[in-house]
Chains A and B, each alone.
Chain A
Amino acid sequence: MPIHKAEHHPLDAYLRTERLPHVWCPGCGLGIALGAYLRALQNVGFDPQETVMVSGIGCSGRAAGYVKMDSFHTTHGRAIPFAVGLKAARPELNVTVFSGDGDLFSIGGNHILHAARRNVNITVLAINNYVYGMTGGQLAPTTPESSITTTSPYGNIESPFNIAGLMAVAGASYVARWTTVHERRLQKSIEKALTKRGFSIVEIMSPCPTTFGRRNNMRGIVDSMMYYKKYSVIKEHPNPLDGVIKPGEKFIVGEFMDAPDEPTFEDKLEELKNKEFLKTSQADRTTWILEHRRHLETLAKIIGGEQ
């Protein structure tokens, strides 16, 4: 059968087409996830020029290299704090973090908790493929119990994170979960996340046949998709604490959290900037000294063994 190469793709305007084909394996869900994100961007009408993608390390991290917008491929786990700083500097820009489960919830776990707590106005797309794909299929903080990975050869003895529950408790404004089978709903959910004021996160369950599937009876390119189809249950307003995923059991997809708008971190930073301050000269001179006096006395106590 002759291969037909399409001249144009509807998302070309959003892609660095010269960088394609991408590095992702056949059967990988990242293409679907990225496609859903770009279509969502298009639908909500965000100007790519005012949109920034930040990613970490891993297969998902490579997405930043393919989008035709300002994009940063940072170090492992640090996409979130990089985005926090960027957003603080330029609150008018739309900032999306596109990264994987290991990057966001293991090595970067602390950062995402605090970004959610601060209600930083960014959108996080968390690609959950259960595994560290780029490095060959090691155990991730999301790997289901008893699953085989290269570093859990006898089956995972740990419990994975319930990402939805974790994020809701940490203070996220919007929390949803979809799989790559639910492309349309996923895209709508990303649209909502992009326009939501505050910290929003969409967990995207995405297959990795190459490093996870083949060790866990989902070797075929569509096996994981079939699995998602069979076991996912769409629920209205599910309880985030019910977001636990167990192998061979039904799991919930849907919007776990859609909180009423609260001031974002950037709103509060702006508010601080516009405050009326005391004239610095005299007032500040005094407070500086007092501050330092307190410090020195605390230090004296520490050195003196009183503390």
Chain B
Amino acid sequence: MARIEMQIGGFGGQGVILAGLVIARALSLYDGREAVFTQAYGPEARGGASASGIVVDDERVDYPYPLHPEILVLMSQEAMTTYLPNMRKGGILIIEENLVHLDGEPDVSELHKIPATKIAEELGNKIVTNIVMVGFIAKVVGDRIGLKKESIKKSVLEMVPAKVRELNEKAFEMGYNYEEA
């Protein structure tokens, strides 16, 4: 597995930062991968779009920011306008299907959709939308980036406050086990 770049874009408060952090941390600490986590940079991050970047590699990551991510997760329309054009052609696109409406057919090898917000709401708290998404990401690209289910779950549970651990665990499982239509 060579260098893989991944980006998770959404709007402030959606928890895309934590989502990226738990994934990169699991890869780095529990799956023996080299991973860097960064926050989206510069002018492209203006206007409320926020994104976390993960670069994962077998060897030490050199340039730490995603240049043309082959895995892109979009959780808002604005994030789509901002980050989609920069995506590597033929990559994997994952979207929050109720928040992102694609104009036309993106040039991707795979397109995955999940109503993460709705699932979180059904669990009783929209705040775990990001963790539903993390579960789904783990399922869809886990093997390809070297992310094991137990590692990412451990990372999630360590990083959320104790009193909401159970809720987050459920959210993760719901995302992980979500069957796409």
Q: Which of these, A285, A299, A301, contacts B158 with CB under 8 Å?
A: A285
A interface, over-half SS:
helix
Per the 8 Å Cβ criterion, residues 129-161 of B in contact with A are 158-159, 161
| A303:B17 contact, CB within 8 angstroms | no
Complex Cα distance, B161 from A303, in Å, reads: 27
Question: B74 at the A/B interface (Cβ < 8 Å)?
Answer: no
B159: A residues at CB distance < 8 A: 286, 289-290
Least Cβ distance of B27 to chain A in Å?
A: 15
| B17:A297 contact, CB within 8 angstroms | yes
Question: B39 at the A/B interface (Cβ < 8 Å)?
Answer: yes
| A300:B50 contact, CB within 8 angstroms | yes
Question: B12 at the A/B interface (Cβ < 8 Å)?
Answer: yes
Give how many B residues have a beta carbon under 8 Å from the other chain's beta carbons: 17
Least Cβ distance of A283 to chain B in Å?
A: 10
| B17:A304 contact, CB within 8 angstroms | no
Question: B163 at the A/B interface (Cβ < 8 Å)?
Answer: no
Complex Cα distance, B159 from A290, in Å, reads: 7
With A300-B12, A304-B49, A305-B46 as given contacts, are A293 and B21 in contact (CB-CB < 8 Å)?
Answer: yes
| Further 15 A-B residue pairs, CB within 8 A, beyond A282-B158, A300-B12, A300-B17 | A286-B161, A289-B21, A289-B25, A292-B21, A293-B21, A297-B12, A297-B17, A299-B39, A300-B45, A300-B50, A304-B45, A304-B46, A304-B49, A305-B46, A305-B48
CB-nearest residue of chain A relative to B49? A304
Question: A296 at the A/B interface (Cβ < 8 Å)?
Answer: yes
A293: B residues at CB distance < 8 A: 17-18, 21
A297: B residues at CB distance < 8 A: 12-13, 17, 50
Chain B contact residues, CB within 8 Å of chain A: 12-13, 17-18, 21, 25, 39-40, 45-50, 158-159, 161
Q: Which of these, A289, A296, A305, contacts B39 with CB under 8 Å?
A: A296
Complex Cα distance, B18 from A307, in Å, reads: 20
Least Cβ distance of B22 to chain A in Å?
A: 8
Q: Which of these, B21, B25, B50, B158, contacts A304 with CB under 8 Å?
A: B50
B21: A residues at CB distance < 8 A: 289, 292-293
Least Cβ distance of A294 to chain B in Å?
A: 9
CB-nearest residue of chain A relative to B13? A297
Per the 8 Å Cβ criterion, residues 255-307 of A in contact with B are 282, 285-286, 289-290, 292-293, 296-297, 299-301, 303-306
| B47:A304 contact, CB within 8 angstroms | yes
A292: B residues at CB distance < 8 A: 21
Complex Cα distance, B47 from A305, in Å, reads: 6
| A296:B47 contact, CB within 8 angstroms | no
Name the residue in A286, A293, A296 with the highest tally of chain B Cβ atoms < 10 Å from its Cβ.
A296
Least Cβ distance of B179 to chain A in Å?
A: 30
- What are 25 A-B contacts defined by CB distance under 8 Å? A285-B158, A286-B158, A286-B159, A286-B161, A289-B25, A289-B159, A290-B159, A290-B161, A293-B17, A293-B18, A293-B21, A296-B17, A297-B13, A299-B39, A300-B12, A300-B39, A300-B45, A301-B12, A304-B45, A304-B46, A304-B48, A304-B49, A304-B50, A305-B48, A306-B48
